[in-house]
Amino acid sequence: MRFFALFVAAFCSVGVLAQDSDTDAATATVATAATAASDASAPTASASNVSDFTQLALSNALGGLLTAQNHYGAPIPPWQHGCKPGWYYGKNPGSVLGWILPWLADELICELLDLLPFCLHCPKPKPPPPQSPWTQTFYNLTGATQAADYMTYGLVDTVADCQTMCLNVQGCTFVNSYHDVNGKGGSPLLTCALYSQCHDASDADNLGGQSQPDGSVDFITSSDGYCYHAQ
């Protein structure tokens, strides 16, 4: 049951965050949620019969994590040391290496998030409009956008998934997707950073350069920017 393995693990990572910020209450909530999640992973648990209590505990933990105030789980922007993506939206959670992230296509996580008014919700892809609402502002750069209107970042499979995420986050009008090459082997996933204002190549000045645990230094490829125009 990969869903639940990821899910439980997601709360363990919340626990670490909460301890970092030294808030006992948050840690306690998260500990409860983590336990509840473990219980929920008993043989045939499904979204429909997880107890109300468990749902509430998990909702509270997710709700505290995936809020606008917390940059939807990625409070440190991608150009600063110690940053970590806040979420994964795509088809292959097994391809997320090195982090444990809420998977925004997991049925249970999506149902729980839907219960929370101020929380990130899982995107519900719609058929694309006849004319693309996106204008590409830069293409294939080796720098990523670095700007004060940063909203959140996560991991995606495709540029289209990154755009879908933006449409799902209130106030988002710009996506910057790129490969953050950090470590040997290279993940196929794209980093997807969301902004509230549009940016051109002149702000794409995060060239990586952060030391990685394996001693390598990260760099950026295939950085594309797209600005949304409401139709």
Ligand X SMILES: *[C@@H]1O[C@H](CO)[C@@H](O)[C@H](O)[C@H]1NC(C)=O
The site for ligand X (CB under 6 A) is made up of 44, 46, 48-49, 140, 142
Smallest separation (angstroms) from ligand X to the CB of 55: 14
Tokens of 40: 């929920």
End-to-end CA distance of the chain: 42
Smallest separation (angstroms) from ligand X to the CB of 40: 10
48 vs 69, beta carbon nearer ligand X? 48
Report the 10 Å Cβ neighbour count for 135. Answer: 11
- Using the structure block, give the residue that is written with the tokens 């920017």: 225
CA distances from 184 to 84, 154, 189 (A): 18, 20, 14
87 vs 134, beta carbon nearer ligand X? 134
118 vs 139, beta carbon nearer ligand X? 139
Tokens of 156: 């995606």
Smallest separation (angstroms) from ligand X to the CB of 75: 30
21 vs 49, beta carbon nearer ligand X? 49
Three-state DSSP class for 121?
coil
Smallest separation (angstroms) from ligand X to the CB of 143: 11
Q: How many angstroms separate the CA atoms of 81 and 83, rounded?
A: 6
Smallest separation (angstroms) from ligand X to the CB of 71: 29
48 vs 131, beta carbon nearer ligand X? 48
The torsion defined by the Cα of 67, 72, 77 and 82, in degrees rounded to 10, comes to 100
**By the 8 A CB rule, do 74 and 80 touch?**
no
